[in-house]
Amino acid sequence: MRVLLAEDDDDLGQGISAGLQKLGFTVDWVTDGESAEHASKDTESFDILILDLGLPRQDGIEVLKNIRRAHNELPVLILTARDAVENRIEGLDLGADDYLTKPFDLHELAARIRAIARRRSGRSQPSIHYRDINLDPASRSVLQNGKSVALSQHEFTLLEHLLSNTGKILSKQQIESSLYGWNEGVESNAIEVYIHHLRKKLGKDLIKTIRGLGYSIPLEQKRAE
């Protein structure tokens, strides 16, 4: 995967380049806004642009505006040292795909790049491993300790959603919108029923209820990188 990095700070730019390369990306690094905009025109070469907002010669916001004005659909992830919420919102409104505030976690950056690229390419996710569970989105099958577990359509989607967001809390609304994107009628306690089924089939400790908020599958204790 080829990444275009626009970052004016030498040390940080070098760090990101080196880190992403070690994590399997190809990185082209430019240090000012004009070069970033120029390089972005080569849409065939790059899968994503990592754009610092505080760039010399041309501000990151300007670069983003110009890219989108030119109907360039290159995915953009904004890096910002400005924390004003308006700045981030402006970035997202202008067509950025995601943002990260400095300082950030290198692995988080890599994960976000992969997620954006996946969303853009429409490629399906690789299978997810969590403890003794193996979920394959391609075949829509779930294995526990190697044995197949039969799940309904909604149960599978719900589990996939939760396993893709381990460690995070998912609100009922979030789950509902991911399950019923196609305007199905939602029964008020439908989610509870699916969670109940999943617990029965996969073990009651798998999904945590966060009272008043939603559900969560906690992070695995040691993340395998």
Residues that bind another protein (CB under 8 A): 9, 11-12, 14-16, 18-19, 22-23, 54, 79, 81-85, 101-107, 167-171, 208, 210-214, 216, 218-219
CA distances from 159 to 7, 62, 123, 154, 214 (A): 38, 40, 19, 9, 14
Least distance to another protein from the beta carbon of 100, Å? 9
Those residues with Cβ within 8 angstroms of residue 104's Cβ, 6 or more apart along the chain or in another chain: 79
Q: Report which of 110, 97, 27, 87 is spatially closest to residue 67, judged by C-alpha positions.
A: 97
Residue closer to another protein by CB (options 87, 151) is: 87
Q: Phi first, then psi: what are they for 140, rounded to 5°?
A: 50, 45
Residue closer to another protein by CB (options 82, 161) is: 82
Residue closer to another protein by CB (options 104, 180) is: 104
Least distance to another protein from the beta carbon of 158, Å? 17
- The token duo for 188 is 């008020």
Least distance to another protein from the beta carbon of 31, Å? 13
Residue closer to another protein by CB (options 107, 196) is: 107
Residue closer to another protein by CB (options 19, 137) is: 19
Those residues with Cβ within 8 angstroms of residue 157's Cβ, 6 or more apart along the chain or in another chain: 178, 179
Label residue 183 exposed, middle or buried (CB < 10 Å: 0-12, 13-18, 19+).
Answer: exposed
Least distance to another protein from the beta carbon of 223, Å? 12
AA letter at 209: T
Least distance to another protein from the beta carbon of 52, Å? 9
